[in-house]
Each structure stands twice: as C-alpha cells, then as structure tokens.
Amino acid sequence: MKEMKQLFVSKTQYNNLQEECLIMLREFIGKYKWTLTEDKEQSDVIINIVEGRFFIEIFYDKSGEYLLQDVDQKFEIKARFYKCLASYTTKKLPWGMLQGIRPTKLVYKIYHRLAKKIVDTNKSNTNKSNIIDKKEEIINELENRYMVSREMAVLAIKVASFEQQYLPQTVIEASKKFSIYISIPFCPTRCHYCSFPANSISNWEDKMDEYVNGLISEMEAVLPKLFMDNQLSTIYIGGGTPTSLNVEQLDKLLGYITSTFPMNQVKEFTVEAGRPDTITIKKLKVLRKYGVLRISINPQSMNQTTLNIIGRKHSIDDIYKAYEMAKEIGFTRINMDLILGLPGESIEDVKYTFDRIKEIRPNEVTVHTLAIKRSSKIHEEIEKYHLPNDNEIKEMLNISRKVLTSELDYKPYYLYRQKNMMGSYENVGYCLNDNPCIYNMETMEEVLSIIAFGAGGITKLVDNKGKVTRIENVKNAQSYLERLDEMIERKNHKLG
Ligand SMILES: C[S@@+](CC[C@H](N)C(=O)[O-])C[C@H]1O[C@@H](n2cnc3c(N)ncnc32)[C@H](O)[C@@H]1O
Ligand code: SF4
C-alpha cells in the first residue's frame, strides 16, 4: 500500500476545518507523517469544496476512491470524512470526531441545551439539576452524532459533573473572579518527550535573579487594579520546573506574592515543583512558610530504565525521598504525574508503576498519554525509540482506570486531549477524597480569566458573555526579559 502523506482541503469559510481534518487523519492513519498541502496534484487525500458541494477523494492503491456530494456544513464534512476514514481503515477513534473540541465543554453545551428545553417547557428552575440527570441523553448524542465511544462518553460526563460542583455556574459569577499563573521556564535537563519551555538551569543560573525580578515587575504593573474589582480564586506556579529556583529566589517570589496578593480570598495555592531532583527540604520549607497548599512530585514512570531512556536524569529513589520529605513537613496535597506510552515501556512496566502508586497513594494522580510533540527529541528521532502500539496503550489506560477508580476510589476530575497522542486517547487528573485541583479545572473549562506572567505565559480573559481573548507573552526567556515593557503593555491594553 502506498504511504499517504499529503492532505489537501480547499479553502472554505469554515473555521479550522483544515486543521481538524488533518488531526483526524493523523488519528486514523500514520500519526506523525501527515501535513497539509496547497498542491492538489501532490495530495493523497483531497477534500474539495466547491460552491457548497464537496468531494472527498482518497487515493491509495488507486482502486479506492470515495466521492461524496451535496454537503454544505462543516459538521457534515467532518462527519463524512470520519466515515470515509473509518471504512478505509476499519477503525474507530475513541473520541470520534472531537478534533478541536474539548469533550467536557461539549458535554456542558449539550447539557445546557437539554436543561433549557426543560425550563422552556415547564417554566421551572434548573439550578438544582445536574449533568448526571441527563446522562443517557448526553451519551446518546455523543455516540450517535459525534461517534464518541460509550466508554469515553461516560468518562467525559463523570468529569463534567464532578467539575460542576466546583466551578462558577454562571458567566456573571465567573466574570467577577480570576486566577493567576506564573511561569518558571527552567529545568535541570529537557526530557525527550517534552516541548514545554525548559531552559537549562546551568545556562540560566546567573540570570535567574533577573528573571524573578522581571516577574515581580510584570505583576506589580498589572495586578493592583485587578485586585480592586475582582476576587482572586487560585494561584498556580508552573513551568518548566518552579523548584529550579534556589531557596532565596523562591523566598523572594513567594514573599512578594503573599505580601501583596489578597491571600484571604485564595482557595488554592500550587507550586508545581515537579522534577524530584530539584526538590530539597529547604525549598519545601519555604513553600510551607508561605502557605503553599499543593505541590507535584512527578515520577512519569516508576521504572528506572524508562527514566534513563526519556532523559529524566534522576533516580527512582529521588522520587521516594522527595515524597517522604514533603509528607514529613506537612504537605497533604501532593500530585504525581505519570505518562503512559513511554518508549520501551511494556504493559508489565505500567503494572509495576501502578503497584508502586498503590503503595504511595498520593492525593492526586494525573495520567497522561504520551503525545508526540513536534519540537521534542522523540519526534526528531522517532525511529530510535520503541513505542507501544495502540492496543498496548489501550491496555495501559485500562490498568490505570482499574487501579485508580475501581481499586482505590480515586475520581476523575479533569480531562483534556492534545494533538498526536498515542492511540488518540486523553489525559485525566484523578483525586482522592473529593479534593481536586481547582486551578486545573478552571484552566480546562475556560470559565474564568487566568492572568499569566513570565515567559510563555498565556493569559485568557473571559468576558461576561463567556468569550475568551488570549494574550501571549513571548516564549523565549531572554526575549521576555528584554521585552518586559511590551508584555505589560499588551496585558494592560486589553485589561483596560
Ligand atoms: C508542564 S510539565 C511540568 C512538570 C515538571 N517539570 C516535571 O517534569 O515533573 C507537566 C506534565 O506534563 C506531562 N507531559 C509533558 N510532556 C508530555 C508529552 N509529550 N506527552 C504526555 N505528557 C506530557 C508530564 O507528565 C509533566 O509532568
Ligand atoms: S517534563 Fe518537566 S522537567 Fe522535563 S523538560 Fe518538561 S517541563 Fe522540564
């Protein structure tokens, strides 16, 4: 069979249609190979839209060709494309046609439409109703209209109904609140799967003081007027690896935050920490001193061979030591990030990781499925890595769900998908004792504004109609420091 690589979609008025079809194609076939082309002659798949009629042509061994006509809506084009690819590959995608659509947002949208219908019919108030009350109708729509598998539909509904208890339920309520994200774009080394901002500590050691000062100037110039009219919900310091800062730098940053922010309003204060090899007892004590509630100590895998393969230059023992130190000085809300589908990992390796997680039982576990990010080392040298196949990924995810939800009673509380994920699955955050990370839910659902500081920080302003406006800081840490005034001006201009 000829290897297909090029997708042509003629230009249309439909937002993101080309991009969403490309993602769908990658999810069905040869994930990392597909690109969009403007050259029809060179294409292996053509979606041609001419005056409201559209044609899909798939060429492979020249015998297979599909021709579809008379469709004039973006949804229909995607749906027919999905059906073509499903019949061609004899596959189904776990999340069906949800490329470019957040599953939980879609659940909310369907729920609100159904709930409004009841209000319109009965003239009664739906404030007391819950997504779970509409479970079967929502599943039905996800399965039949969007081709989502039942298992994924149930997961999205569970997550959305959990979130419903914690997030503001009206845009008016949400418009009076905001949260803060602070980016620390430094790491000891870059992990091979990662595309997050991760400047090496050794290159930046001499300039990290300047970076912390830059952050403080940016916050000082933007926040005071926001504090006057709005309520601060959560604070999240992420990265990169925030504990790449030394004790004095952490002390200065957290000291500034706690002395100038209205901390009495804050529901949750997270410092992501992350890489176990950056966590020391002195740094943890600084975090405690300033009232940080929640941290992450991330294994990704509990197998040493895997950590070596993915370039996480620390030991399994470092994970246990960091966790013990954190418990010892009183942290109760500790998250652990894991990634399924890591190179070289077998189903047995994943079972081993979850056996260790069973013993540790952190308050939260976030289970990621490996995404092959374009700017990661794995993507650059994909042929050098042995990656699990889709069936193995499915089994690994089944293990994670079985251990966390059936055996240990964790609840899935947030969910998101990324491009180029192995098996086209998802990332899920699980928590114990109904104690989720509120910031994670806020940021996924885009219900309230998040004001972001530092290199790579993306501010999202949500207005009182729910419309989201993005303001991006530059990603490069050096450019961020050089163009700090411009970053401040960008935000203040939009904040009015
Ligand atoms: C912003 S990163 C920061 C975490 C922290 N620096 C650390 O490494 O412990 C948050 C999490 O995203 C996940 N992640 C990063 N790149 C990923 C990828 N390509 N595929 C799946 N998960 C990824 C990892 O689990 C990581 O812990
Ligand atoms: S996974 Fe964490 S430590 Fe590794 S490069 Fe990405 S942000 Fe840095």
In which domain, by residue range, is 181 found?
A: 171-489
- What lies within 8 Å, CB to CB, of 437 at 6+ separation is 268, 270, 294, 335, 364, 413, 414, 429, 431
- To test the pocket of ligand 2, the residue of 191, 200, 278, 319 to mutate (highest count of ligand atoms within 8 Å of its CB) is 191
- To test the pocket of ligand 1, the residue of 31, 32, 337 to mutate (highest count of ligand atoms within 8 Å of its CB) is 337
Does a structural domain hold residue 201? yes
Asked whether the beta carbons of 240 and 187 are under 8 A apart, the reply is yes
For residue 238, the ligand closest to its alpha carbon is 1
Output b/e per residue, 453-478; b: 16+ Cβ within 10 A.
bbbbbebbbbeeeeeeeebebbeebe
Residue 239 structure tokens: 């990265």
Does a structural domain hold residue 95? no
Indicate whether 389 and 465 sit together in one domain.
Answer: yes
Indicate whether 341 and 203 sit together in one domain.
Answer: yes
Indicate whether 142 and 194 sit together in one domain.
Answer: no
pLDDT recorded at residue 481? 97
pLDDT recorded at residue 73? 66
- Count of beta carbons in the 10 Å neighbourhood of residue 91: 13
Q: Which of 264, 259, 243, 250 is nearest to 215 (CA)?
A: 250
Rg (alpha carbons) of the chain, rounded to whole number: 24
Indicate whether 112 and 221 sit together in one domain.
Answer: no
Provide the β-strand partners of residue 367. 338, 428
d(CA 157, CA 130): 10
Q: Is 439 in the pocket of ligand 2 (CB under 6 A)?
A: no
For residue 67, the CA-to-ligand 2 centroid distance in Å is: 46
Which of ligand 2's atoms lies nearest the C-alpha of 275? Answer: 3
Indicate whether 48 and 23 sit together in one domain.
Answer: yes
Indicate whether 404 and 359 sit together in one domain.
Answer: yes
d(CA 37, CA 118): 47
Which of 66, 89, 112 is at the close of a domain?
89
For residue 155, the CA-to-ligand 1 centroid distance in Å is: 22
Which of ligand 2's atoms lies nearest the C-alpha of 298? Answer: 2
Which of 164, 183, 201 is at the close of a domain?
164
Identify residue 276 by its one-letter amino acid code. Answer: P
For residue 187, the ligand closest to its alpha carbon is 2
Which of ligand 2's atoms lies nearest the C-alpha of 198? Answer: 8
Which of ligand 1's atoms lies nearest the C-alpha of 300? Answer: 25
pLDDT recorded at residue 65? 41
For 16, 125, 234, 458, 482, the CA distances from 454, given in Å and listed in that order, are 29, 43, 17, 9, 12
pLDDT recorded at residue 80? 82
- What lies within 8 Å, CB to CB, of 298 at 6+ separation is 274, 275, 276, 335, 336, 337, 338
Which of 89, 121, 147 is at the close of a domain?
89
In terms of C-beta density within 10 A (0-12 exposed, 13-18 middle, 19 or more buried), how is residue 383 classed? exposed
Q: How many structural domains does the chain have?
A: 3
Does a structural domain hold residue 96? no
Residue 97 structure tokens: 């046609």
Does a structural domain hold residue 337? yes
pLDDT recorded at residue 35? 79
Asked whether the beta carbons of 6 and 37 are under 8 A apart, the reply is yes
Indicate whether 46 and 192 sit together in one domain.
Answer: no
Indicate whether 150 and 225 sit together in one domain.
Answer: no
Provide the β-strand partners of residue 458. 472
Q: Which of 154, 46, 56 is nearest to 104 (CA)?
A: 154
Q: Is 477 in the pocket of ligand 2 (CB under 6 A)?
A: no
Q: Cis omega (within 30 of 0) on the bond before 238?
A: no
- Count of beta carbons in the 10 Å neighbourhood of residue 242: 29
pLDDT recorded at residue 118? 63
Residue 251 structure tokens: 């002390």
Where residue 190 sits, what CATH number does that domain have?
3.80.30.20
Indicate whether 64 and 137 sit together in one domain.
Answer: no
Identify residue 303 by its one-letter amino acid code. Answer: N
pTM above 0.85, yes or no: yes
Residue whose Cα lies nearest atom 17 of ligand 1: it is 194
Does a structural domain hold residue 496? no
Indicate whether 156 and 176 sit together in one domain.
Answer: no
pLDDT below 50 — which residues of the chain?
1-2, 60-72, 124-126
Does a structural domain hold residue 292? yes
Indicate whether 153 and 183 sit together in one domain.
Answer: no
Does a structural domain hold residue 98? no
Residue whose Cα lies nearest atom 3 of ligand 2: it is 187
Does a structural domain hold residue 75? yes
Q: Is 194 in the pocket of ligand 1 (CB under 6 A)?
A: yes
Q: Is 187 in the pocket of ligand 2 (CB under 6 A)?
A: yes
Indicate whether 160 and 271 sit together in one domain.
Answer: no
